[in-house]
Structure 1
Amino acid sequence: MSLTQQDIDFIKANMAVWFAEQSLGKPPAVYEIELRERMVRVEEELKHQHEWMRQGLEQMDKRFEAMQAIMDKRLEQVERRVETLRADRQAFRAR
């Protein structure tokens, strides 16, 4: 069963009233105000969550950079140690 354009127009025209009736008999204007207030609260909460996420990602970036610096430092130490071992091996072979 498909809807005709007349059915769709009827639904659009009456939907707000039907929702208002389901909202404990509040008039459409009151129901609309409540919906707008809810939307504002949701938008504010989304802004806060966005800010928290941004801060969290910044902290993760800082931690990653710190870990990268530590890993670079350790790699340099390993490279120095390998060079020392190569030099020792060459000195041993030379004897």
Structure 2
Amino acid sequence: MNRKWSNLFEFFKSTLAINFAVSFFVFLFGGLIAFNYSVLTFGFALSLFFKEVNAKNEYVFYFNNTISKIQLWVYSWFFTFVFLAICSFVFNLIRKLF
């Protein structure tokens, strides 16, 4: 079970760079709220699209470890949601303290 979670987390980490790069441009034009929505929707979908086009052979590795493509996408979105919630909490805490 630990190996499965490790593989799911590695897939999540591989989607972060494109997700945040796309969402950063949304942040520049739309602000923090638009950034949060973009990370969970448009940026996430675009990062999955790039993974699908550029690294579709990686899915064989995950399939051999009994992880389906749908599981990868759902758990990756869940990890993204939790990561964004923690970052938002820390950002708001720092903003209130200082």
TM-score, normalized by length of structure 1?
Answer: 0.41
Instruction: With a CA cutoff of 8 Å and minimum separation of 6, indicate the structure with the bigger relative contact order.
Output: 2
Q: Which structure has the bigger radius of gyration? A: 1
